[in-house]
């Protein structure tokens, strides 16, 4: 794996190496030496020194506490670009003497990162010794087609060590193009194509300044999603010290094929619908088993105007599973890619967080969110707060006076928006660090170009009270690059994840499922700068991204595992298994909460619940759906012949006059606001036994206030696998006090199968 230091300039390489590599050597009989980075205030440099380095050497040579003679090896590096200061091997006594100097601003001791897993596989319960991973041979012989921005084939996540041979059904190729040749493909990456005719026809220009005219990834997005779905194991991956561990895809035994349809053109990335359609068309022709799509279009259009919906139904007809991201709109009625034949994925959190730790002069220690990429320590720094000036208190644009804040940690009040502007202002003014209050907005990792952390407002108030209670408030200690596991509650629905009801068809519950989508570590374009650090930029081959784009490939990976175990299952059967075994309970044994409100979420946010791959392998019963069922569904929507033909790509079809509702593993009662109560709606469903031959399932109902639910029959008996039983679910609504209310139908047998389906009533 390429290291960060291989990707940076020579001088910055030395700086980062000094910061991250341990250099503990016993140089004295009385005290041990340790490497520190010392941040100095350059304004104190005497004019007699022509360079910063000569000043730093003189400072070290003048230390009286040294019991050895200063030599050239004491000073490691002198810095005057990314920061002003130096790194040196010092004893505790020497460090103490240095920290008393007026010019001293902060101390950054060397540190070692404790290795953790990249965690989402573990959070999903995937184990090497038992469960779906070994049973599925990690997704062996399954092919996942990624519709995305391309791929960085040199990433270690796409090495083919231990991979099985390419399945004989594969018809795809690796095309030749700019900075990409067929030789870059292997047993892991078995196909790579790009589609840009629509983009170029619309005026797009594929310039080497912004992108590659080939399947090579420019932005890193496609590389990230691909490695999440099926990346090979890579030891020692991490995001600048955060989330250190072994990076691995959900189905590391599966093959990958990339279909590049999204292009970088300077100000924004663009994807033409014609190119998306061409990519999906080629994926189907090539013989993929799964199509994963982490993109969508802004407009919510009927299925007959939605190229992703249309192409997906064609894929489903050929037995190909289609998994799509629900979108990042973060609002109700905003889900994308909601056609009922698509597995639509929302984003959840995991039980891991990245923090900075703050200790105040009064001894109070508080943790806040931080992605600052250097393991530094700020110690005994003055704390600044512009309490008598609103602009300064909120760190408004051009409000801070550098002479007032230089060398200090600045506290900024919450303004009701994200903190990126405040961070820019604090950095502009030359502050040592920043503390920001915010309950809702989490900044992207690349924004943390200075030592900074974001506190919950209640913790921000504690800091504010402290700084206002004394004239000599101090930050005793401020440290970074801390990864914490076991965070509760988790999972939560992320604040950015799009919510239902689905704007195209509220009668189908969307999203279907929740999967990890926040702070996901995966491979990226190795030579693309991830963030700026002063005059320098940092690059990495693994990075933390967030979005439903990250959630969808998790589910694509799970479907690959299920496909490997159950090769005869239809796409609908696999979706049913995923949905009916999902959990709506978090790690505090409470209902999954909404990150945005900290209140209990509903199936409009989390669908059937959070995905559980091991349980999905043995769901007991499935709700299967065939192509004709989707045709009947479209007939029931009131589409005319031309519109139906556009979706199913046929000129002739048949529909029953009394077409039943879709055999979906969830139930939605759409209640018009002018309804007269009580309102009754009946659903018919057919379930197929894929569990034990002799199984008796009993209906267990979780009924909310204002709703009455009955099943007929309430017991389903099976004597063999493949047997089907039908039932009717009757929902009576007496009243709805809120815009949504929900309960559950759970079919429970004597073999510990629990087949769970949400029953949701919504007002529209």
Give the model confidence (pLDDT) of 356-374 as tens digits: 999 999 999 999 999 998 8
**Predicted local confidence at residue 275, as pLDDT:** 83
Q: What is the pLDDT of residues 462-486, one digit of tens each?
A: 999 999 999 999 999 999 999 998 9
**Predicted local confidence at residue 37, as pLDDT:** 64
Whether residue 595 has pLDDT greater than 60: yes
Confidence of residue 23 (pLDDT cuts 50, 70, 90): very low
Averaged pLDDT, 451-460: 93
Burial 717-756 (b: 16+ CB within 10 A, else e): ebeeeeeebebebebbbeebeeebbbbbbbbbbeeebbbb
**Predicted local confidence at residue 247, as pLDDT:** 87
- Max CA separation in the chain (angstroms): 97
**Predicted local confidence at residue 29, as pLDDT:** 43
Out of 41, 148, 289, 749, the active site residue is: 148
Instruction: Answer yes or no: are the C-beta atoms of 574 and 560 closer than 8 Å.
Output: no
Q: Could you confirm whether 148 is annotated as catalytic?
A: yes
110-119, 121-130, 357-366, 649-658: least confidently modelled range: 110-119
**Predicted local confidence at residue 74, as pLDDT:** 78
Whether residue 17 has pLDDT greater than 80: no
3-state secondary structure of 595: coil
519 Cβ partners below 8 Å, 6+ apart?
243, 349, 350, 352, 353, 354, 544, 546
Instruction: Answer yes or no: are the C-beta atoms of 381 and 474 closer than 8 Å.
Output: yes
**Predicted local confidence at residue 20, as pLDDT:** 31
Please give, one letter per residue, the 3-state secondary structure of 368-409.
Answer: EECCCCCCCEEEEEEEECCCCCHHHHCCCCCCCCHHHHECCE
Domain definitions of the chain by residue range: 4-109, 129-350+492-616, 353-485, 626-659, 662-763
Tokens 């018919």, located at residue: 684
Helix (H) or strand (E) holding 200: helix 197-201
Name the token pair of 516: 């990890």
How far apart are alpha carbons 681 and 695 in whole angstroms? 29
**Angle, in degrees to the nearest 10, between helices 307-317 and 627-636:** 150
Instruction: Answer yes or no: are the C-beta atoms of 421 and 441 closer than 8 Å.
Output: no
Whether residue 749 has pLDDT greater than 60: yes
Out of 66, 78, 549, 695, the active site residue is: 549
Whether residue 111 has pLDDT greater than 70: no
Confidence of residue 269 (pLDDT cuts 50, 70, 90): low
Please give, one letter per residue, the 3-state secondary structure of 155-203.
Answer: CHHHCCCCCCCCCCCCCCCECCECCECHHHCCCCEEEEEECCHHHHHCC
Tokens 């007496």, located at residue: 734
How far apart are alpha carbons 570 and 386 in whole angstroms? 63
353-485 in CATH: which number? 3.50.30.30
Whether residue 552 has pLDDT greater than 90: yes
Q: Could you confirm whether 610 is annotated as catalytic?
A: no
CA–CA–CA angle 585, 588, 589 (5° rounding): 40
Confidence of residue 34 (pLDDT cuts 50, 70, 90): confident
How far apart are alpha carbons 391 and 702 in whole angstroms? 53
Strand intervals (E) in 517-663: 520-523, 529-533, 536-539, 542-545, 593-594, 621-622
Instruction: Answer yes or no: are the C-beta atoms of 395 and 422 closer than 8 Å.
Output: yes
Q: What is the pLDDT of residues 567-581, one digit of tens each?
A: 999 999 999 999 999
Out of 221, 239, 566, 753, the active site residue is: 221
**Predicted local confidence at residue 370, as pLDDT:** 94
Q: What is the pLDDT of residues 700-747, one digit of tens each?
A: 999 998 899 999 999 999 999 999 999 999 999 987 767 889 999 999
- Dihedral sign computed on CA atoms, order 636, 640, 644, 650: positive
**Predicted local confidence at residue 657, as pLDDT:** 66
Q: Which residue has the higher pLDDT, 369 or 109?
A: 369
Confidence of residue 86 (pLDDT cuts 50, 70, 90): confident
Averaged pLDDT, 172-180: 96
Q: What is the pLDDT of residues 371-399, one digit of tens each?
A: 998 888 999 999 999 988 999 999 999 99
**Predicted local confidence at residue 227, as pLDDT:** 97
Confidence of residue 19 (pLDDT cuts 50, 70, 90): very low
Q: Could you confirm whether 549 is annotated as catalytic?
A: yes
The CB density around residue 590, as the number of other CB atoms within 10 Å, is: 12
Q: How far is CA 54 from CA 47, 51, 104, 462, in A?
A: 11, 5, 16, 43
3-state secondary structure of 730: strand
* Alpha helices (H) along 442-485: 457-469
Whether residue 699 has pLDDT greater than 90: yes
Whether residue 301 has pLDDT greater than 90: no
Helix (H) or strand (E) holding 717: strand 715-718
Name the token pair of 412: 């900024």
Confidence of residue 418 (pLDDT cuts 50, 70, 90): confident
129-350+492-616 and 662-763: identical CATH topology? no
Percent of the chain with pLDDT strictly greater than 90: 62
Indicate the fold that domain 662-763 takes in CATH: Immunoglobulin-like (2.60.40)
**Predicted local confidence at residue 443, as pLDDT:** 79
How far apart are alpha carbons 463 and 365 in whole angstroms? 10
Percent of the chain with pLDDT strictly greater than 70: 90
Whether residue 100 has pLDDT greater than 80: yes
Q: Which residue has the higher pLDDT, 544 or 197?
A: 544
Which among 212-221, 308-317, 570-579 has the top mean pLDDT?
570-579
**Predicted local confidence at residue 529, as pLDDT:** 75
Instruction: Using DSSP bridges, classify how beta strands 695-702 and 715-718 pair: parallel, antiparallel or unpaired.
Output: antiparallel
Name the token pair of 177: 């193009």
Q: What is the pLDDT of residues 621-641, one digit of tens each?
A: 999 999 999 999 999 998 988
Confidence of residue 14 (pLDDT cuts 50, 70, 90): very low
**Predicted local confidence at residue 375, as pLDDT:** 85
How buried is 210 (Cβ within 10 angstroms: 0-12 exposed, 13-18 middle, 19+ buried)?
middle
CATH architecture of 129-350+492-616: 3-Layer(aba) Sandwich (3.40)
**Predicted local confidence at residue 534, as pLDDT:** 67
Q: How far is CA 130 from CA 125, 468, 472, 561, 761, in A?
A: 10, 56, 58, 13, 39
Q: What is the pLDDT of residues 50-83, one digit of tens each?
A: 887 888 888 888 887 655 455 666 777 565 543 4
Tokens 């304004």, located at residue: 43
How far apart are alpha carbons 726 and 713 in whole angstroms? 9
Whether residue 272 has pLDDT greater than 50: yes
**Predicted local confidence at residue 611, as pLDDT:** 98
**Predicted local confidence at residue 439, as pLDDT:** 81
Confidence of residue 673 (pLDDT cuts 50, 70, 90): confident
- Cross-strand partners of 343: 323
458 Cβ partners below 8 Å, 6+ apart?
none
**Predicted local confidence at residue 18, as pLDDT:** 34
Averaged pLDDT, 279-288: 93
pLDDT averaged over every residue in the chain: 87
**Predicted local confidence at residue 28, as pLDDT:** 35
Averaged pLDDT, 130-149: 96
Confidence of residue 26 (pLDDT cuts 50, 70, 90): very low
Q: Which residue has the higher pLDDT, 8 or 317?
A: 317
**Predicted local confidence at residue 31, as pLDDT:** 72
Q: What is the pLDDT of residues 507-518, one digit of tens each?
A: 999 999 999 999
How far apart are alpha carbons 193 and 38 in whole angstroms? 50
- Cross-strand partners of 436: 412, 454
How far apart are alpha carbons 627 and 632 in whole angstroms? 9
Confidence of residue 763 (pLDDT cuts 50, 70, 90): confident
Q: Which residue has the higher pLDDT, 294 or 19?
A: 294
**Predicted local confidence at residue 39, as pLDDT:** 64
Q: What are phi and psi of 597, to 5 degrees?
A: -110, -15
Name the token pair of 587: 């790690």
| pTM (two decimals) | 0.82
528 Cβ partners below 8 Å, 6+ apart?
218, 219, 220, 539
């Amino acid at each position: 794996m390429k290291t960060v230091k291989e990707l940076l300039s020579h001088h910055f390489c030395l700086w980062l190496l000094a910061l991250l590599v341990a250099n503990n050597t016993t140089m004295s009989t009385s005290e041990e030496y340790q490497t520190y980075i010392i941040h100095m205030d350059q304004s104190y440099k005497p004019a007699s020194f022509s360079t910063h380095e000569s000043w730093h050497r003189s400072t070290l040579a003048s230390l009286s506490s040294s019991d050895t003679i200063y030599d050239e090896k004491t000073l490691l590096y002198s810095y005057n670009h990314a920061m002003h200061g130096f790194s040196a091997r010092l004893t505790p006594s020497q460090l103490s003497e240095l920290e008393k100097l007026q010019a001293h601003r902060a101390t950054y001791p060397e540190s070692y990162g404790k290795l953790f897993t990249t965690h989402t596989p573990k959070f999903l319960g995937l184990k090497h010794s038992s469960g779906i991973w070994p049973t599925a041979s990690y997704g062996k012989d399954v092919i996942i087609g990624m519709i995305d921005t391309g791929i960085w084939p040199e990433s270690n996540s796409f090495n083919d060590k231990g991979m099985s041979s390419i399945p004989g059904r594969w018809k795809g190729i690796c095309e030749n193009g700019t900075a990409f040749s067929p030789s870059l493909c292997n047993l892991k990456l078995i196909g790579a194509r790009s589609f840009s005719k629509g983009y170029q026809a619309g005026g797009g220009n594929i310039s080497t300044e912004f992108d590659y005219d080939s399947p090579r990834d420019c932005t890193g997005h496609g590389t990230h999603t691909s490695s999440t779905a099926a990346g090979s194991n890579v030891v020692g991956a991490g995001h600048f010290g955060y989330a250190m561990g072994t990076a691995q895809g959900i189905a590391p035994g599966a093959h990958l094929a990339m279909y590049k349809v999204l292009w970088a053109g300077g100000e924004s990335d663009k994807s033409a619908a014609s190119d998306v359609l061409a990519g999906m068309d080629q994926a189907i022709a090539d013989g993929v088993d799964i199509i994963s799509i982490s993109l969508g279009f802004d407009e919510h259009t009927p299925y007959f105007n939605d190229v992703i919906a249309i192409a997906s139904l064609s894929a489903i007809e050929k037995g190909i599973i289609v998994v799509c991201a629900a979108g990042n709109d973060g609002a109700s009625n905003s889900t994308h890619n909601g056609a009922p034949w698509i597995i639509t994925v929302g984003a959840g959190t995991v039980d891991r967080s990245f923090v900075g730790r703050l200790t105040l002069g009064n001894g109070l220690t508080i943790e806040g969110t931080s992605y600052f990429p250097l393991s530094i320590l700020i110690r005994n720094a003055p704390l600044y707060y512009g309490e008598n000036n609103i602009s300064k208190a909120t760190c408004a644009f051009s409000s801070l006076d550098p002479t007032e804040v230089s060398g200090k940690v600045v506290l900024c009040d919450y303004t009701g928006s994200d903190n990126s502007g405040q961070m820019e202002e604090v950095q502009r003014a030359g502050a040592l660090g920043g503390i920001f209050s915010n309950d809702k907005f989490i900044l992207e990792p690349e924004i943390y170009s200075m030592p900074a952390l974001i506190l919950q407002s209640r913790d921000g108030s504690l800091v504010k009270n402290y700084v206002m209670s004394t004239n000599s408030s101090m930050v005793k200690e401020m440290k970074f690059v801390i990864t914490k596991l076991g965070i509760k509650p988790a999972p939560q629905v992320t604040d950015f994840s799009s919510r239902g009801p689905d704007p195209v068809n509220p009668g189908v519950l969307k999203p279907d499922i929740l999967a990890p989508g926040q702070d996901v570590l995966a491979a990226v374009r190795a030579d693309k700068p991830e963030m700026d650090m002063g005059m320098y930029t940092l690059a990495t081959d693994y990075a933390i991204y967030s979005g439903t784009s990250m959630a969808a490939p998790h589910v694509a990976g799970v479907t690959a595992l299920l496909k490997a175990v159950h090769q005869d299952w239809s796409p609908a059967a696999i979706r049913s298994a995923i949905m009916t075994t999902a959990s709506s309970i978090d790690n505090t044994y409470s209902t999954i909460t909404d990150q945005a409100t900290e209140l209990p979420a509903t199936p409009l946010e989390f669908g059937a619940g959070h995905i559980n791959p091991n349980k999905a392998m043995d769901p007991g019963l499935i709700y299967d759906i065939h192509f004709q069922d989707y045709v009947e569904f479209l007939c029931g929507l009131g589409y005319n012949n031309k519109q139906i033909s556009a979706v199913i790509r046929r000129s002739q079809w048949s529909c029953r006059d009394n077409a039943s509702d879709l055999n979906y593993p969830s139930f939605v009662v759409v209640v018009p606001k002018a309804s007269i109560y009580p309102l009754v709606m009946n659903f018919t469903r057919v379930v197929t036994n894929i569990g034990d031959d002799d199984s008796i399932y009993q209906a267990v109902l979780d009924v909310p206030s204002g709703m009455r639910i009955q099943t007929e029959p309430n017991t389903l008996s099976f004597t063999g696998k493949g047997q089907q039983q039908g039932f009717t679910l009757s929902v009576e609504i007496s009243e709805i006090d809120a815009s949504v209310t929900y309960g559950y139908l759970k079919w429970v047998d004597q073999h510990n199968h629990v087949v769970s389906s949400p029953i949701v009533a919504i007002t529209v």
